[in-house]
Amino acid sequence: KQFREPGCLLKHATIKADLMSFMSAGPYLFIFGGQAGISNHLEQIGKVPIPMPLLDALDNFRQHDFYTYRHSLTVFALTSFLMICNDTSGGVKKDALLVGPTHDLGKLLMPTEILHKKTPLSRQERKMLEFHPLAGYVLLCYYLGDHQHPAALVALNHHERSNGSGYPRGISRLDAIVEMVAACDVYDALISSRPYRKTNYDNRTALEELTGVAEAGGLNWRCVQTLVGRNR
């Protein structure tokens, strides 16, 4: 019970300041409607309770794998934004907000040499990396004490695709929240610098790529439409 006592995501260490910095860069500043929009969004999502071991994990990423740290927070911001944009129930549940910053938790168990590799991954390395959704699911089931928690299910399924082309299980029936995270995960990955990629995608090309995947049935079209619409 002790390790499940929650902290507050946006009050922990430098997370809020870092998140505001990430949201103020590149296309995100436009997506969120400028600095006023960023402040308004962070005020809307309010306090997000999160077990301390998961905050420790984010601290670990910040120190040893800054890409995953930044990516986790950016996907959190984008996903929570999509949730609010598409909400018809009068409010987004706090446990649902936890899906963004924890979706890549399984990368804690991945060798750092794979995460930081500057050349394309070998088949064996790719297979090892594709284990991170299952690893994240197991960790979150343990720390959240609930194998049906939205964050645990998103960690397990965020690389699955609606047309069955994803991993680790190749399933095609996905929850709406998984589809939101999947779209945001792909978008941020495309426009972000990666160790093995000389340059990141420009925003227009990333949106075209995202649209192509949605048209092929790999991503939820409504989620992609929302991201494209905010870029206009």
| Residue 148: other Cβ atoms inside 10 A | 8
The Cα–Cα gap between 1 and 18 comes to 30
Alpha helices for the chain (secondary structure H): 15-23, 28-31, 34-45, 52-64, 66-86, 94-97, 99-102, 112-115, 123-129, 132-144, 150-157, 176-191, 203-215, 221-230
pTM: 0.94
Q: What is the pLDDT along the chain (232 residues), one digit of tens a residue?
A: 445 568 999 999 999 999 999 999 999 999 999 999 999 999 999 889 999 999 999 999 999 999 999 999 999 999 999 998 887 565 678 788 999 999 999 999 999 999 999 888 899 999 999 999 999 999 999 999 999 999 999 999 999 999 999 999 999 999 999 999 999 999 999 999 877 776 789 999 999 999 999 999 999 999 999 999 999 8
Question: Which has the closest alpha carbon to 152: 141, 143, 166?
Answer: 141
Instruction: Give pLDDT, residue 198.
Output: 67
Cβ partners under 8 Å of residue 117, min gap 6: 125, 195, 196
Using CA atoms, how far residue 86 sits from 71, 135, 222, in Å, is 22, 30, 9
Half-sphere CA count of 158, side-chain side, radius 13 A: 35
For every residue of 139-185, DSSP letters joined together read: HHHHHHT-TT-HHHHHHHHTT--TTS--SSS------HHHHHHHHHH
Instruction: Give pLDDT, residue 87.
Output: 74
Instruction: Give pLDDT, residue 89.
Output: 61
